[in-house]
Chain A
Amino acid sequence: MLKLEPRGAPSQAWTLGSPVLALLVTVLIGVLLLSSLGKDPLAGLRMFFWEPINGLDAISELLIKATPLLLIALGLAVCFRSNVWNIGAEGQYVMGAIAGGGVALLATEDSSQWIVVAILCAGAMGGMVWAALVAFLRDRFNANEILTSLMLVYVAVQLLSYLVFGPWKDPHGFNFPQTKTFEDATMIPRLFEGSRVNIGFALALLAVGAVWVFLYRTYAGFAQAVGGMAPAAARFAGFSARKTLWIALLISGGAAGLAGALEVAGPIGQLTPYVPAGYGFAAIIVAFVGRLHPVGMVFSAVLMSMFYIGGELAQSRLGLPKSITGVFQGLLLFTLLACDTLIAYRLVRRRTEV
């Protein structure tokens, strides 16, 4: 008979091993799922784990998808480490897209390339404002940030719909709910010729370094972590709980807003009702699978991006439903939480007592 026994100290090995085991279990369940649907499981796995990295084009698509996931997850990691539960990154992402898109719409044929800087700043500001609403409600009225941030997602999505169905609708767009295609000057510059990967990816990697330094090498980052781990110790040390709340939400809102602006001024090129693609929610999984560690999240963002692309391929090539992506994402988080049990507990074989 197997039994769980508490460990003396959390296992370092399983802190890293748990995501790997969770991925294996997810794949295993995926195989069972695919075969029960009457599909060839190997072909399915190929869609998810081989096709997305097969060739330079595939890899650049993978990185394009990973960029917003990584940026949003980095911000969320700061939040979660500070014990601030921002679930509404999707809304902050949409507000960043609206703000960035709004600036992009102002561009004319003569605009300089530097308008991109304004677009990205506007995007980050848009996300920050949306997150600041959450911080204000929590600070002033002690409203639960899980609820307010989540509900503000729907407000942001409706606001986007209003704009693209109403005032910002392209007059020459055959009445489709979308803005005009942005001017060429607003396009986020690409990193290399011949690849769609743009400077957003470089920004995300820079952000990895910045968040790592902030969390592990600055006094302010230390104060955030203490506020998250032991509020009484933070109060004892004199770290302000209000400051922790505001910093966490402004950073994560800014990161999500930046991701939104990068997305609309990059791969999408206009505002449509399909801007909210669930990146804000998927990034929560990215953050946890990456152990809230900046470097770990690079790997989990790429993995999650594989699920997105694999899900699309499985849809077009194997005729699987669209929800297969969500199933895989959910499975991964679910199995990770289960595997995390092994960090604090060990499995022991127990002799049955006579």
Chain B
Amino acid sequence: MGLPRLSLQGITKRYPSVVANDAVHLRVEPGQIHAVLGENGAGKSTLMKIIYGAVQPDAGTVEFNGREVRIRNPQEARAMGIAMVFQHFSLFDTLTVAENVWLGMDRGTSLEQVTSQISETAAVYGLELDPQRPVHTLSVGEMQRVEIIRALLTRPQLLILDEPTSVLTPQAVDKLFVVLRQLASEGCSILYISHKLHEIRSLCDACTVMRGGRVTGQCDPRKETIGTLSHLMIGSEPPQVHVGAREPGDTMLEVKHLSLVREDQFGVDLHDVSLAVRAGEVLGIAGVSGNGQGELLRVLSGEDVRASAGCVQLEGVDVSAAGPAARRTRGLHFVPEERLGRGAVPALSLALNLLLTRSESVSRGFLKPAALAQQAAGIIQKFGVKAGGPQALAQSLSGGNLQKFIVGREIDAQPRVLIVSQPTWGVDVGAAAQIRGAIMALRDAGCAVLVVSEELDELMELSDRIVVMAKGRISPSMARAQADASKIGLWMSGLWEDSHVEA
């Protein structure tokens, strides 16, 4: 092969408290689908931002098509033929697809031209998309198509995709891969950032692995196994959580025919949601985020008490109108998905953050600082939280350690019902295994556990039964033994009524 499309040499970027990239080398050939694999915090995003011109490196050189370049901003990157699709979309809900794409383009192109360009590109790559549809009517997968088409209209030679599949159903992932392979066959290089090993093995033909800001390996992922890739990524094999079968007990948490109008303008209405979690079982709720999970969880935790009487029952007692504190005294604890700002107050110490859900160290309204610090130290030790101590500020902890502290805080209360949302989001592999282990131990001790997660693998590993949430509705439940990715993927589109009738 001739000149590489992109070549990075000795890229280093230091931030005040961390070296995000340390002498990173990366070489991408024309038409190659090149994976950048690494855990959260391994430095993948910083590297991509350097390539896209959003961040300037402290040292090192960037060569594009054999020429050394200094990319000062994303505009320059786009002019050179580098496009990027971010994990979080930047689309205006109230505008149409064409208008959104048009907004990001240079002046001098008319809306009509853009509309026809979108249709042409969509047809070439089999990306079905109506340019006239308002963005708020699109599904998440369709929104991603808008972002991809927007990137393709700049005729990129290098396309960067940051965790593109985290919001997609398994079927949508397959469609995306077809498009990416077609692009690569036309000579466009693709940088594919992910921490999902099986996707990388099926899609990519080269892989650079990063850990702690350094490149720890380069390989052909098609020739590796999940185990060897994982070893490169985290330095060890992923620990397995052992799940034994267990006979569930009484119904602890029950939701009956819950329908609720959205509170937030861009929220989701809940339609006739019913589910039950029994003692000693884990019920998993699968589904793409933004399908009513947040709304349902607020109703379950007591943060939203608008549900009609009788809709939410804890051990047979109606708690629909009870607030979070009242539900906690009944043994229901909740770990929200937003750690900073909801599960913990960033600028307060870990000890004070205990007080959000625990009141053992409060006596007649007065705090007992020594007891509080001791209690926090106990949780830090018991759950292996890496922190400066009970007085460390919540914001000074890494995502994984803060999550361990929050999960530990709730588990330490010996809940009868535990609700966990996205237990391992942005958490490194070791901490994730530890958190899952703690959840399973709690289940084995007879606690009823409800887990909401976007990671299907995680749900398959943890849950005794799985339901799917789509468009504010809950599917019938399936036992783990009967669950498979394609069926769940189908249900994620909200198509279970039909399959149910057939069955």
Contacts of A235 in B (CB 8 A): 303, 324, 342
In whole angstroms, what is the CA distance A219 to B366 when docked?
Answer: 6
Given contacts A233-B342, A235-B303, contact A222 B17 (CB under 8 A): no
In whole angstroms, what is the CA distance A233 to B402 when docked?
Answer: 14
Contacts of A220 in B (CB 8 A): 365
- Tell yes or no: B184 within 8 A of A by CB: no
Show 18 residue pairs from A and B whose CB-CB distance is below 8 angstroms, ordered by the A residue. A8-B17, A216-B367, A218-B367, A219-B355, A219-B362, A219-B365, A222-B352, A225-B348, A226-B348, A229-B346, A229-B347, A230-B341, A230-B345, A232-B338, A236-B336, A237-B357, A238-B323, A238-B324
- Tell yes or no: A322 within 8 A of B by CB: no
Which B292-343 residues sit within 8 Å CB-CB of chain A?
301-303, 323-326, 328, 334, 336, 338, 341-343
- Tell yes or no: B9 within 8 A of A by CB: no
- A233, A235, A236: which has the most chain B beta carbons within 10 Å? A236
Chain B 13-25 interface 0/1 with A at a Cβ cutoff of 8 Å (1 = within): 0011100000000
Contact of B325 among A8, A226, A237 (CB under 8 A): A237
Residue of B nearest to A232 (CB): B342
Within the complex, the shortest CB–CB distance from A291 to chain B, in Å, comes to 14
- In order of increasing CB-CB distance, the 5 nearest A-B pairs are A238-B324, A238-B325, A8-B17, A237-B356, A232-B342
In whole angstroms, what is the CA distance A240 to B338 when docked?
Answer: 20
In whole angstroms, what is the CA distance A220 to B357 when docked?
Answer: 14
A219 and B303 contacting across the interface, CB-CB below 8 Å? no
Q: How many residues of A contact B (CB 8 A)?
A: 22
- Tell yes or no: A2 within 8 A of B by CB: no
Given contacts A218-B365, A229-B348, contact A8 B16 (CB under 8 A): yes
In whole angstroms, what is the CA distance A9 to B324 when docked?
Answer: 32
Contact of A222 among B326, B336, B357, B367 (CB under 8 A): B367
Contacts of B286 in A (CB 8 A): none
Residue of A nearest to B340 (CB): A230
In whole angstroms, what is the CA distance A219 to B363 when docked?
Answer: 9
Given contacts A233-B341, A236-B301, A236-B336, contact A217 B346 (CB under 8 A): no
> Known pairs A218-B365, A235-B342. 15 more at Cβ < 8 A?
A6-B16, A7-B16, A8-B15, A8-B16, A8-B17, A217-B367, A226-B345, A226-B348, A230-B342, A232-B338, A232-B341, A233-B342, A237-B324, A237-B325, A237-B357
Residue of A nearest to B355 (CB): A222
In whole angstroms, what is the CA distance A8 to B347 when docked?
Answer: 13
- Tell yes or no: A5 within 8 A of B by CB: yes
Which B53-80 residues sit within 8 Å CB-CB of chain A?
none
A9 and B393 contacting across the interface, CB-CB below 8 Å? yes
In whole angstroms, what is the CA distance A237 to B324 when docked?
Answer: 6
In whole angstroms, what is the CA distance A9 to B369 when docked?
Answer: 24
- Tell yes or no: B380 within 8 A of A by CB: no
Contacts of A9 in B (CB 8 A): 17, 393, 395-396
Contacts of A219 in B (CB 8 A): 355, 359, 362, 365-367
A218 and B366 contacting across the interface, CB-CB below 8 Å? yes
Given contacts A7-B16, A8-B16, A9-B393, contact A233 B367 (CB under 8 A): no
- Tell yes or no: B344 within 8 A of A by CB: yes
Contact of B356 among A7, A8, A226 (CB under 8 A): A226
Residue of B nearest to A220 (CB): B365
- B342, B355, B359: which has the most chain A beta carbons within 10 Å? B342
- A7, A219, A230: which has the most chain B beta carbons within 10 Å? A230
In whole angstroms, what is the CA distance A235 to B323 when docked?
Answer: 9
Contacts of A232 in B (CB 8 A): 338, 341-342
A233 and B343 contacting across the interface, CB-CB below 8 Å? yes
Contacts of B303 in A (CB 8 A): 235-236, 238
In whole angstroms, what is the CA distance A235 to B15 when docked?
Answer: 34
Residue of B nearest to A222 (CB): B355
In whole angstroms, what is the CA distance A305 to B356 when docked?
Answer: 39
Chain B 210-229 interface 0/1 with A at a Cβ cutoff of 8 Å (1 = within): 00000000000000000000
Within the complex, the shortest CB–CB distance from A315 to chain B, in Å, comes to 43
Within the complex, the shortest CB–CB distance from B314 to chain A, in Å, comes to 15
Which A1-42 residues sit within 8 Å CB-CB of chain B?
5-9
Contacts of A240 in B (CB 8 A): 323
B362 and A236 contacting across the interface, CB-CB below 8 Å? no
Residue of A nearest to B322 (CB): A238
Contacts of B347 in A (CB 8 A): 229
Residue of A nearest to B334 (CB): A236
Contacts of B326 in A (CB 8 A): 238
Contacts of A236 in B (CB 8 A): 301, 303, 324, 334, 336, 342-343, 356
B366 and A217 contacting across the interface, CB-CB below 8 Å? yes
Within the complex, the shortest CB–CB distance from B7 to chain A, in Å, comes to 22
In whole angstroms, what is the CA distance A177 to B385 when docked?
Answer: 68
Contacts of B352 in A (CB 8 A): 222
Contacts of B343 in A (CB 8 A): 233, 236
Given contacts A5-B16, A9-B396, A229-B345, contact A238 B328 (CB under 8 A): yes
Within the complex, the shortest CB–CB distance from B68 to chain A, in Å, comes to 15
In whole angstroms, what is the CA distance A109 to B70 when docked?
Answer: 88
Contacts of B369 in A (CB 8 A): 217
Contacts of B15 in A (CB 8 A): 8
